[in-house]
Structure 1
Amino acid sequence: MGNQKLTPKELDNRIKENKDVFILDVRSEDKFNDYHLEHAVNVPKTAIFEMEEANTSYDISLPKDKEIIIACTTGNSATKCANILAKHDFNVTVLEGGLTAWKEYTKSK
């Protein structure tokens, strides 16, 4: 199952168009508190992995009616989380290159 991906530029355009963008940051709370995208929601990847192990839909309050853009540091964890959430009928897209790529992109603007 191929995940949809979004480049930092595409995400930036969506935010500018003021679309209702739901961003899920799956990094640890420390990293999230240190730096994150505006309006992002933090659910550490460990919680999503536990949901998979327990094979429950867990109590993750994520919208099923919106596209969820998943971000991590480089994109690897986000991809794993996207695979798990997609199995639970969430509409997920991965931020390509993660926040590392996002920071590079915003620096070059």
Structure 2
Amino acid sequence: MKTILPKELREKVEANDEICILDVRAEEKYENEHIEGGDIQSINIPKSHIFNLDDNNANIISTLPKNKEIIVTCTTGNSARKCAAILSEKNYNVTLLEGGITAWKEHLTEK
């Protein structure tokens, strides 16, 4: 599975690369804080929806682009890793943010 470090993601954001971030945390956590900036398309689909994907609810992920990289994140990266594996099986181009939102916030404070 491809991974990206918070530092590498920040460089992409600062370069105004077109970025799609899938945050799989609960909606409340996402609303409180999520990765923003640059040309980021931020999407929130809670992990439980992705874990329970089947033919009946496959439309849940229909908002995700199939033609570009999707950076998957959660609080620490564990749930995001599982979600990324599921989406990869469905032919999405996924990359895991190492350490999740926690590592992202730590990186921003070190900057």
If the length of structure 1 is used for normalisation, what is the TM-score? Answer: 0.92
Note the C-alpha offset of 1:25.
Answer: 0.3
How far did 1:55 drift? 5.2
CA distance in 2, matches of 1:47, 1:8: 25
Task: Tell me how far apart the structure 2 counterparts of residues 67 and 44 of structure 1 sit (CA, whole Å).
Answer: 19
> For residues 1-109 of structure 1, what are the structure 2 equivalents within 5 Å?
3-38=1-36, 39=40, 40-51=42-53, 54=54, 58-59=58-59, 60=61, 61-109=63-111
Superposed CA RMSD in Å reads: 1.2
Percent identity between the aligned chains? 50
Mean Cα deviation higher: 89-98 or 33-42: 33-42
Equivalent position amino acid for 2:27 in 1: E
Q: Tell me the number of residue pairs that the alignment of Structure 1 and Structure 2 aligns.
A: 105
Specify every segment of 5 or more residues in structure 1 that has no aligned partner in the other structure, as ranges. none
Unaligned runs of 5+ in 2: none
TM-score when scaled to structure 2? 0.90
Q: Measure the CA separation in 1 of the matches of 2:56 and 2:85.
A: 15
How far off its partner does 1:50 sit? 1.1
Moved over 3 A (4+): none
